[in-house]
């Protein structure tokens, strides 16, 4: 049975309302947050809610977009208004009463034509809801064009086949060329159990490899193609990524629009225990779609942000693409055969993600429970040990904290995060000489980590080595760190 357009519209409005909860932010709060006008305390409260609320994240994204239009005095063009009017199928009978679609279009037009002094966040919220509904209906209508998706160079995407020793196909994965010298990144999970990989470019050229770099706690694999002139995808600047920003999961680069799934950035998570201005360790992704998917994550300009690492329904984690190049620089490639007996588990990654969410909510017992479940399923999850160590730190169980970092170093002696954590743990216990040894190793592994350099400087000062501490200051200054040792 065909459903009328207005009936679809009413149903869609009901669906949007079903996402909203009594705890959702009001439009004024969302507006003040979008314009950075909240106090620091109110901003933190708002972000605490935004991190887990799909409804408010969508409202924030639409608010930011419409505020941009208002500031730049951008109005809806007659062509766009005609297009919106054209969404409604032609009726044989004339209806004297103003239709629901006409009301929506009138409200959108009025909102976007407000002068600065007339602007009201509630009006923006109404326009946001209207646009969200219309965009959703565009998706529902197969004969209508889908919303804007970024332009990407499909030649930078490759097909990866995981093959057994006798050439039998075990699985396939999407890969992305992350630099012109032949570095390819992909999810690790589809490659576990293979004897070798066959990597096929869009033009049909094929390469093989038996070695990869891996990060099990990020579901990330990196491999090298023997070609140093490949088309690579541009990399997004993670410092330009904001909470509430629209992003896209590339599920199939060969399908211009149907191969993209729109999502939202809901949080940026640094290394536990480090300052908020440190490098983002994970990106939290939210999507209204309940379908589980994997793939590369790109921004609105088609720049690569990272790869989805978990397979939960509405909220997932993404490993920043910077981790792929770091793996190749700092780690050592291993034969695929070493993964055959690995206990790699996607379920373990999902527990790991839930542990991070519990940690952010300062629910230490729950976080501990999730991390332990993750490690039981996969004892090689380096990040879970580090996160668990941080939980012990918050509970003042410093001996247990140190043990978690030492367990990581048994798996990977050059893990800079474990070395950093153990170094700060030793500082906390007054063992400064031992702390310096660990922090110096961490700096050797990751020379551009400002937080580690700063902690090393403090450790030097603690043993009276002021000259060594001050020698680190120019490097910190070059990295944009404003803190000083004195």
Q: Does the residue 231 lie in any domain?
A: no
Identity of the highest mean pLDDT range in 52-66, 100-114, 329-343:
329-343
Q: Does the residue 326 lie in any domain?
A: yes
Of the candidates 235, 228, 261, the one whose C-alpha atom is nearest the C-alpha of residue 321 is 235
Q: Worst-scoring range by mean pLDDT, 22-31, 121-130, 349-358, 442-451?
A: 121-130
Residue 161 makes CB contacts below 8 A (sequence gap 6+) with: 169, 171, 172, 197, 198, 199, 200
Q: Worst-scoring range by mean pLDDT, 150-154, 180-184, 311-315, 445-449?
A: 311-315
Is the model more confident about 332 or about 249? 249
Does 10 score more than 60 pLDDT? no
- What whole-number distance in Å separates Cα of residue 449 and Cα of residue 409? 18
* Span 358-372, average pLDDT: 91
Does 327 score more than 70 pLDDT? yes
Does 13 score more than 80 pLDDT? no
Q: What is the pLDDT of residue 293?
A: 66
Taken as a whole, the chain contains a residue count of 486
Q: What is the CATH number of the domain that holds 281?
A: 2.40.10.10
Q: Worst-scoring range by mean pLDDT, 3-7, 162-166, 414-418?
A: 3-7
Does 422 score more than 60 pLDDT? yes
Q: Quick one: 430 exposed, middle or buried, by C-beta within 10 A (0-12, 13-18, 19+)? A: exposed
**Residue 11 pLDDT level (bands cut at 50, 70, 90):** low
Of the candidates 342, 319, 296, the one whose C-alpha atom is nearest the C-alpha of residue 176 is 296
Q: What is the pLDDT of residue 68?
A: 52
Does 434 score more than 90 pLDDT? yes
**Residue 125 pLDDT level (bands cut at 50, 70, 90):** very low
Q: Worst-scoring range by mean pLDDT, 315-324, 348-357, 380-389, 446-455?
A: 315-324
Q: How far is CA 21 from CA 93, 223, 246, in A?
A: 40, 45, 22
Average pLDDT, the chain: 78
Supply φ then ψ for residue 398, to 5 degrees.
-70, -35
Instruction: Centre a 10 Å sphere on the Cβ of residue 465 and count the other Cβ atoms it contains.
Output: 15
Q: Can you give the residue range of the structural domain that contains 215?
A: 154-224
> Which residue has tokens 């599920």?
251
Portion of the chain with pLDDT greater than 90, in percent? 32
Does 277 score more than 80 pLDDT? no
Q: What is the pLDDT of residue 361?
A: 80
Chain centre distance of CA 77: 34
Looking at the fold, whether 201 and 270 belong to one and the same domain comes out as no
Q: Does the residue 72 lie in any domain?
A: yes
Does 96 score more than 70 pLDDT? no
Q: What is the pLDDT of residue 74?
A: 44
Does 386 score more than 80 pLDDT? yes
Q: Does the residue 339 lie in any domain?
A: no
Q: Worst-scoring range by mean pLDDT, 20-34, 164-178, 187-201, 424-438?
A: 20-34
Does 257 score more than 70 pLDDT? no
Q: What is the CATH number of the domain that holds 399?
A: 1.25.40.10
> Which residue has tokens 């700096």?
443
Looking at the fold, whether 424 and 379 belong to one and the same domain comes out as yes
Q: Does the residue 335 lie in any domain?
A: no
Looking at the fold, whether 349 and 318 belong to one and the same domain comes out as no
> Which residue has tokens 């065909």?
2
Q: Does the residue 233 lie in any domain?
A: no
Of the candidates 264, 241, 309, 228, the one whose C-alpha atom is nearest the C-alpha of residue 58 is 264
Looking at the fold, whether 297 and 192 belong to one and the same domain comes out as no
What does the DSSP 8-state code read for residue 226? Answer: S
Portion of the chain with pLDDT greater than 70, in percent? 73
**Residue 385 pLDDT level (bands cut at 50, 70, 90):** very high
Q: What are residue 209's DSSP bridge partners?
A: 197
Looking at the fold, whether 378 and 445 belong to one and the same domain comes out as yes
Beta strand extents in 271-385 (DSSP E only): 280-286, 296-298, 304-308, 315-320, 334-335
Looking at the fold, whether 75 and 166 belong to one and the same domain comes out as no
The predicted-structure confidence for 165-179, as pLDDT tens digits, reads as follows: 899 999 999 999 988
Q: Does the residue 424 lie in any domain?
A: yes
- What whole-number distance in Å separates Cα of residue 348 and Cα of residue 371? 9
Structure tokens at 294: 């994997």
Looking at the fold, whether 325 and 446 belong to one and the same domain comes out as no
The number of distinct structural domains making up the chain is 4
What's the first-to-final CA gap in the chain, in angstroms? 75
Looking at the fold, whether 133 and 16 belong to one and the same domain comes out as yes
Looking at the fold, whether 219 and 262 belong to one and the same domain comes out as no
CB 201 within 8 A of CB 230: yes
Looking at the fold, whether 99 and 162 belong to one and the same domain comes out as no
Is the model more confident about 45 or about 384? 384
Where among 286, 304, 330 does a domain terminate? 330
- What whole-number distance in Å separates Cα of residue 459 and Cα of residue 310? 37
Looking at the fold, whether 9 and 136 belong to one and the same domain comes out as yes
Structure tokens at 164: 């057994």
Q: What is the pLDDT of residue 326?
A: 79
Structure tokens at 9: 């519209």
Looking at the fold, whether 354 and 473 belong to one and the same domain comes out as yes
Supply φ then ψ for residue 170, to 5 degrees.
-95, -40
Supply φ then ψ for residue 246, to 5 degrees.
-75, 135
Where among 98, 115, 140 does a domain terminate? 140
Q: What is the pLDDT of residue 143?
A: 35
- What whole-number distance in Å separates Cα of residue 64 and Cα of residue 50? 14
**Residue 149 pLDDT level (bands cut at 50, 70, 90):** confident
Q: Give the side-chain half-sphere CA count within 13 A for 6.
A: 9
Q: Quick one: 367 exposed, middle or buried, by C-beta within 10 A (0-12, 13-18, 19+)? A: buried
Supply φ then ψ for residue 442, to 5 degrees.
-65, -40
Q: Does the residue 269 lie in any domain?
A: yes
Where among 140, 165, 180 does a domain terminate? 140
Q: What are residue 211's DSSP bridge partners?
A: 335
What secondary structure does DSSP assign to 420-459, as a single string? Answer: HHHHHHHHHTT-HHHHHHHHHHHHHH-TT-HHHHHHHHHH
Q: Residue 194: in which H helix or E strand, if any?
A: none
């Amino acid at each position: 049975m065909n459903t009328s357009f207005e009936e679809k519209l009413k149903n869609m409005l009901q669906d949007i309302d079903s996402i909203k909860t009594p705890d959702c932010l009001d439009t004024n709060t969302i507006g003040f947050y979008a314009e950075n006008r909240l106090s620091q305390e109110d901003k933190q409260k708002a972000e605490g809610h935004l991190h887990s609320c799909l409804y408010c994240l969508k409202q924030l994204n639409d608010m930011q977009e419409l505020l941009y239009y208002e500031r730049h005095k951008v109005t809806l063009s007659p062509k766009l208004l005609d297009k919106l009017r054209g969404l409604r199928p032609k009726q044989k009978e004339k209806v004297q009463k103003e239709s629901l679609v006409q009301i929506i279009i009138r409200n959108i037009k009025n909102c976007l034509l407000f002068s600065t002094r007339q602007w009201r966040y509630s009006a923006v919220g109404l326009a946001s809801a209207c646009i969200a509904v219309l965009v959703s209906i565009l998706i529902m209508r197969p004969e209508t064009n889908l919303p804007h998706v970024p332009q990407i160079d499909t030649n930078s995407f490759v097909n990866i086949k995981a093959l057994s020793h006798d050439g039998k196909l075990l699985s396939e994965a999407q890969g992305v060329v992350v630099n012109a010298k032949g570095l390819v990144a992909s999810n690790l999970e589809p490659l576990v159990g293979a004897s070798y990989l066959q990597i096929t470019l869009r033009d049909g050229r094929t390469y093989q490899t038996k070695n990869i770099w891996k990060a099990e706690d990020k579901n990330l694999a990196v491999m090298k193609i023997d070609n140093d002139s490949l088309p690579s995808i541009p990399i997004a600047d993670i410092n330009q990524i904001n909470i509430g920003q629209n992003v896209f999961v590339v599920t199939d680069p060969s399908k211009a629009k149907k191969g993209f799934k729109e999502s939202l950035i809901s949080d940026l998570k640094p290394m536990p225990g480090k300052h908020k201005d440190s490098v983002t360790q994970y990106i939290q992704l939210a999507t209204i779609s309940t379908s589980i998917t994997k793939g590369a994550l790109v921004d609105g300009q088609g720049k690569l942000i990272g790869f989805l690492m978990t397979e939960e329904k509405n909220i997932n984690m993404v490993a920043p693409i910077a981790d792929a190049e770091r793996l190749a620089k700092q780690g050592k490639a291993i034969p695929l055969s070493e993964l055959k007996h690995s206990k790699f588990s996607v379920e373990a990654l999902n527990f790991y993600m839930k542990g991070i969410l519990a940690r952010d909510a300062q629910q230490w017992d729950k976080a501990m429970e999730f991390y332990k479940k993750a490690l039981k399923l996969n004892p090689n999850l380096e990040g879970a040990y580090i996160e668990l160590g941080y939980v012990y730190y918050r509970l003042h169980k410093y001996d247990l904290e140190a043990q978690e970092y030492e367990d990581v170093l048994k798996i990977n002696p050059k893990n800079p995060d474990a070395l950093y954590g153990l170094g700060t743990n030793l500082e906390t216990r007054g063992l400064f000489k031992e702390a310096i040894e660990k922090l110096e190793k961490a700096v050797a592994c990751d020379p551009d980590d400002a937080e580690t350099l700063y902690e090393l400087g403090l450790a030097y000062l603690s043993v009276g080595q002021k000259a060594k501490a001050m020698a680190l200051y120019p490097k910190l200054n070059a990295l944009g760190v404003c803190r000083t040792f004195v």
